[in-house]
């Protein structure tokens, strides 16, 4: 989003480190209308879609370059800032999952957080708030124990706020389900909780039709995560069915096709 968010060992650090030791009150539910923006219905979405499926650094670079060019003309466009943060976050995830340049990854995450925060100040999309939480969770891995103490509660608060803002938002439920995979039961996690949240995300995705330029990603990815929950429980055939459904939705999804399915087949031997 790669285990990873898009291949995605990064998610262990990204969401597993979000161990709440306290949480502020969630923000009241709100859903901002999707404004007109140069990201709507144009090549930006096509580039992001390709990057999410192929999970290649070069694809994210092309998408980022296009968004940056558009921001030169509209530097305060909240939609463009959201997608800039999203792309930077995904690009950093590749470095983390591949054990690449940690200093560069940290810088990308920090820049992603700044872009998402600027977008969140005016747009108030639940996905933006949830991604801010994910970025903080990822940064915990670079900050050690003291970083977890400082950033963990804030990351958890942001995720709680995202849930309050978008109680029927499938992408927020997906991110909460992924968090539960790696979060100890004492902190509200566990595979049972993850399965519940991911299945609920699947049910919400079935009727999900966000109007451009609102976020659209995550349906196939949710089945990828659900398959991993089943695999961890030894439910191999259910995992295989989840991966098959992901590939029905996105046949070119490299994370599922080239990483999760082979890993399941190898473990089943």
DSSP state of 100: -
1 domain-assigned: no
Q: Residue 96 in contact with residue 141, Cβ under 8 Å?
A: yes
Residue 98 corresponds to which tokens in the numbers above?
Answer: 């591949």
Closest CA to 220 of 242, 193, 191, 196: 242
Query: What is the residue range of 196's domain?
Result: 10-27+36-268
62 domain-assigned: yes
The CATH number that applies at residue 258 is 1.25.40.10
193 domain-assigned: yes
Number of folded domains that form the chain: 1
> 70-100: string of b/e by CB count within 10 Å (b at 16+)?
bbeeeeebbbbbbbbbbbbbbbbbbbbbeee
2 domain-assigned: no
State how far the alpha carbon of 195 is from the alpha carbons of 13, 62, 76, 134, 179, in Å.
19, 35, 38, 19, 11
231 domain-assigned: yes
Q: How does pLDDT run along the chain (269 residues), one tens digit per residue?
A: 443 444 443 433 333 433 332 333 333 334 455 455 655 447 788 999 999 999 888 999 999 999 999 999 999 999 999 999 999 999 998 888 777 788 999 999 999 999 999 999 999 999 999 999 989 888 888 887 777 788 888 988 999 999 999 999 999 999 999 888 877 788 788 999 999 999 999 999 999 999 889 999 999 999 999 999 999 999 999 999 999 999 999 999 999 999 999 999 988 65
4 domain-assigned: no
Spell out the SS3 assignment of 162-176.
HHHHCCCCHHHHHHH
104 domain-assigned: yes
State how far the alpha carbon of 48 is from the alpha carbons of 33, 40, 135, 188, in Å.
21, 12, 18, 33
122 domain-assigned: yes
């Amino acid at each position: 989003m790669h285990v990873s968010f898009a291949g995605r060992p990064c998610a262990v650090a990204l969401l597993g480190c979000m161990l709440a030791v306290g949480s502020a009150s969630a923000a009241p539910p709100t859903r901002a209308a999707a404004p007109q923006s140069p990201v709507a219905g144009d090549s930006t979405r096509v580039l992001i879609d390709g990057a999410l499926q192929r999970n290649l650094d070069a694809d994210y670079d092309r998408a980022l370059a296009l968004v940056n060019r558009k921001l030169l003309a509209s530097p305060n466009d909240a939609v463009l800032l959201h997608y800039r943060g999203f792309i930077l976050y995904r690009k950093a995830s590749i470095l983390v999952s591949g054990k690449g340049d940690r200093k560069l990854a940290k810088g990308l995450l920090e820049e992603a957080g700044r872009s998402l925060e600027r977008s969140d100040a005016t747009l108030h999309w639940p996905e933006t708030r949830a991604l801010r939480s994910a970025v903080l969770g990822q940064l915990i891995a670079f900050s050690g124990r003291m970083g977890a103490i400082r950033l963990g509660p804030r990351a958890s608060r942001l995720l709680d706020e995202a849930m309050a803002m978008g109680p029927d938002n499938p992408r927020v439920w997906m991110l909460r389900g992924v968090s539960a995979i790696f979060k100890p039961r004492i902190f509200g996690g566990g595979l049972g909780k993850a399965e519940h949240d991911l299945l609920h995300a699947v049910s919400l995705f079935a009727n999900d039709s966000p109007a451009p330029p609102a976020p659209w990603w995550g349906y196939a990815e949710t089945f990828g995560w659900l398959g991993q929950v089943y695999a961890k429980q030894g439910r191999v055939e259910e995992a295989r069915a989840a991966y098959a459904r992901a590939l029905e939705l996105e046949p070119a999804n490299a994370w599922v096709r080239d990483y999760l399915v082979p890993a399941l087949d190898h473990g089943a031997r």
